Copies of this chain bind each other. A is one copy, B any other.
Amino acid sequence: MSARGRPRAFDRDAALSAAMDVFWRKGFSATSMAELCEAMGINAPSLYAAFGSKADLYEAALRHYGQAASCAVWGGFKAAPTARASIEALLMASAANLPGDDHPAGCMVTLSAVTELGCERLGALAVQARAEGEAQISARLRRAVEDGELPAGVDIAAIAAFYACVQHGMSIEARDGADRRKLETIARAALAAWPGLTDAGAPPPGA
């Protein structure tokens, strides 16, 4: 059925992973085909045959990242029994994973295409990926209201926007060299807002 013609001489997934690493570290515009070829250990024609173009490769790398790293960050979120525990798990997993210990620092999705509108399609892709994160938090909070964990008057959109914002900010801190401990400190500080945010009708102290 399959395997007609000369077989591919490289591991497609490993090559994609190597490309992801370079893109993650340097961004789309600042990464050249030459760098990609060297990191992936293949020549340009092989790259084009397997992935289409530089932009297509970036898109594939972004999706690859979404499946791999995001899994580590959102796994605890989905498994946690309460909304509060979900958000704590999300922030703590972010703190654990964002520092660049054995990979580039910060979340590739968060940092992607923020400055580089060189390719419009890629920018839209990153925006959408970030929006999905906030939507997940919203959905979790909505469920918590339905479950009676949170009062009905709670401002779901505000809470989701806030914690998404903190998580995005943590990527920048990580990029600037923040270690796990510092990110956990930030996470705990953000969780200190929880009681104030989840008191039913009461307006937040800052209003």
Instruction: Give the B-binding residues of A (Cβ under 8 A).
Output: 25-30, 88, 106, 110-118, 127, 130-131, 155, 157-159, 161-162, 164-170, 172-173, 175-178, 182, 185-197, 204-207
Q: Which of B27, B186, B190, B192 is within 8 Å of A116, CB to CB?
A: B27
Question: Which residues on B sit within 8 Å (CB–CB) of A162?
Answer: 185-186, 189-190
Residue pair B195, A189 in contact (C-beta under 8 Å): no
Residue pair A191, B172 in contact (C-beta under 8 Å): no
Residue pair A207, B186 in contact (C-beta under 8 Å): no
Residue pair A186, B165 in contact (C-beta under 8 Å): yes
Question: Which residues on B sit within 8 Å (CB–CB) of A194?
Answer: 205-206
Question: Which residues on B sit within 8 Å (CB–CB) of A111?
Answer: 114-115
Residue pair A191, B204 in contact (C-beta under 8 Å): yes
Residue pair A206, B188 in contact (C-beta under 8 Å): yes
